[in-house]
């Protein structure tokens, strides 16, 4: 925010050529979409946000129509062709083949579907657990809030990945257990976010006004407080999609996530590492896939935050 903006107020849209006799102030019709159009204008202006949006849309597309556009669909289900193993990227196999002849391009594309499913489930579960708890903690100021917030603090004080490894260690390796573990690790973030938002919104004047005219607690939460929490939740959700995908891939890399022959990027890299440096393509392409997907979600998250939640700058 440079000096100019701080001292000179935003001019009100009158331009040259207006009749120099003072114009009467007409009240423009309330334009419900004006706010969204303004957001889209600011969003569109930042290249990084648009890049993020493009990557995410591409990723969703690949995840949706993946199985129908891949050259070797059966490879994703584990059918092996040992006679064409470890081929470098070529005309047929764009990303080369792995150690048992499966087409890596196919497995990366199908992997996108797995990754989307993982990201959505983890973020979804985390929101389902975290947001209600956050609301309850925010609204009540009795011991309920204290217990919820203390438990949240404890969870947040454990590095997420090691807690996930511990939970998967107990439940046993596998993609479902990995997702449960990561959801258990992820919800505290939303509790803290929603709780702080609710606290700040709670003593806003319009909420007191609503309460004063007898609005029920329930109505206040869902009509006044929750809508205000939506924008930070949306921002955090889009950032979390990226981070959840990264965390799930990490568990896959440790051999605790998806089990063979399931096409999951992290697991592919953990096998692919055995084939560096001579068969570099085996671990390069899944790694790039993770990087671009997570980058896309991060950029989108940044863009949304600048538009939806400008105050939350850093």
- Residues numbered 54 to 83 that lie near other proteins (CB under 8 A) are 78-80, 82-83
Give the separation between CA 46 and CA 310, rounded to whole angstroms.
14
Q: Which of 64, 128, 144, 166 binds other proteins (CB under 8 A)?
A: 166
Toward other proteins, which CB reaches closer, 155 or 224?
A: 155
Q: Which of 122, 198, 269, 300 binds other proteins (CB under 8 A)?
A: 269
The number of helix segments (H) and strand segments (E) in the chain equals 12, 0
Q: Which of 170, 203, 212, 214 binds other proteins (CB under 8 A)?
A: 170
- Residues touching other proteins: how many (CB under 8 A)? 89
Q: Output the CA–CA distances (angstroms, integers) from residue 210 to 92, 214, 226, 231, in the order listed.
A: 65, 7, 14, 21
Give the separation between CA 160 and CA 171, rounded to whole angstroms.
16
Give the separation between CA 181 and CA 251, rounded to whole angstroms.
10
Q: Which of 264, 266, 252 is nearest to 164 (CA)?
A: 252
Toward other proteins, which CB reaches closer, 116 or 269?
A: 269
Q: Which of 58, 129, 136, 161 binds other proteins (CB under 8 A)?
A: 161
28 sits near other proteins (criterion: CB under 8 A): no
189 sits near other proteins (criterion: CB under 8 A): no
26 sits near other proteins (criterion: CB under 8 A): no
The residue range among 7-15, 127-135, 136-144, 216-224 that interacts with other proteins, by the rule CB under 8 A, is 7-15
162 sits near other proteins (criterion: CB under 8 A): yes
176 sits near other proteins (criterion: CB under 8 A): no
Work out how close the CB of 170 gets to other proteins at its nearest, in angstroms, rounded to a whole number. Answer: 4
16 sits near other proteins (criterion: CB under 8 A): yes
- Residues numbered 247 to 266 that lie near other proteins (CB under 8 A) are 249-250, 253-256, 259-261, 266
**For residue 277, is the peptide bond before it cis, meaning its omega torsion is within 30 degrees of 0?**
yes
Toward other proteins, which CB reaches closer, 151 or 210?
A: 151
**In the numeric block, which tokens belong to residue 194?**
């929603």
Q: What is the DSSP letter of 103?
A: B
**In the numeric block, which tokens belong to residue 206?**
């319009």
Contacts of 248 (CB under 8 A, 6+ apart): 115, 118, 119, 122, 178, 179, 182, 257, 264, 266
213 sits near other proteins (criterion: CB under 8 A): no
**In the numeric block, which tokens belong to residue 275?**
């084939």
Q: Which of 70, 116, 168, 237 binds other proteins (CB under 8 A)?
A: 168
Q: Which of 283, 304, 305, 307 binds other proteins (CB under 8 A)?
A: 283
Helix (H, G, I), strand (E, B) or coil at 152: helix
- Residues numbered 86 to 125 that lie near other proteins (CB under 8 A) are 86, 99-100
Angle (deg, nearest 10), helices 226-253 and 175-202: 150
The residue range among 63-71, 113-121, 216-224, 242-250 that interacts with other proteins, by the rule CB under 8 A, is 242-250
Work out how close the CB of 96 gets to other proteins at its nearest, in angstroms, rounded to a whole number. Answer: 13
The H or E element spanning position 304 is: helix 281-308
């Amino acid at each position: 925010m440079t000096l100019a903006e701080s001292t000179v107020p935003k001019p009100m849209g009158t331009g040259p050529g207006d009749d120099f006799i003072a114009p009467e102030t007409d009240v423009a019709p309330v334009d419900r979409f004006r706010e969204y159009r303004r957001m889209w204008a600011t969003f569109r202006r930042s290249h990084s946000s648009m890049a993020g949006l493009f990557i995410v849309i591409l990723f969703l597309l690949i995840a949706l129509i993946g199985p129908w556009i891949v050259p070797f669909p059966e490879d994703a289900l584990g059918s092996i062709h040992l006679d064409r193993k470890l081929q470098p990227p070529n005309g047929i196999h764009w990303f080369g083949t792995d150690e048992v002849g499966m087409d890596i391009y196919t497995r990366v594309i199908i992997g996108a579907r797995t990754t989307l499913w993982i990201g959505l489930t983890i973020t979804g579960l985390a929101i389902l657990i975290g947001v209600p708890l956050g609301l309850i903690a925010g609204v009540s100021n009795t011991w309920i809030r204290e217990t919820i917030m203390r438990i949240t603090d404890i969870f947040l004080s454990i590095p997420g990945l090691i807690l996930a490894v511990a939970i998967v260690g107990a439940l046993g390796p596998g993609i479902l257990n990995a997702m449960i573990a990561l959801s258990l690790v992820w919800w505290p973030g939303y509790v803290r976010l929603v709780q702080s938002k609710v606290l700040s919104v709670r003593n806003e004047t319009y909420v007191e006004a609503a309460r004063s005219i007898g609005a029920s607690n329930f109505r206040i939460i869902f009509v006044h407080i929750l809508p205000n929490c939506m924008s930070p939740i949306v921002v955090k959700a889009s950032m979390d999609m990226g981070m959840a995908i990264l965390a799930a891939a990490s568990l896959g890399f440790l051999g605790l996530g998806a089990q063979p022959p399931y096409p999951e990027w992290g697991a592919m890299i953990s096998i692919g590492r055995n084939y560096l440096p001579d068969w570099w393509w085996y671990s390069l392409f899944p790694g790039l896939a993770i990087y671009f997907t997570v980058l896309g979600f991060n950029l989108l998250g940044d863009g949304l935050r600048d538009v939806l939640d400008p105050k939350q700058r850093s």
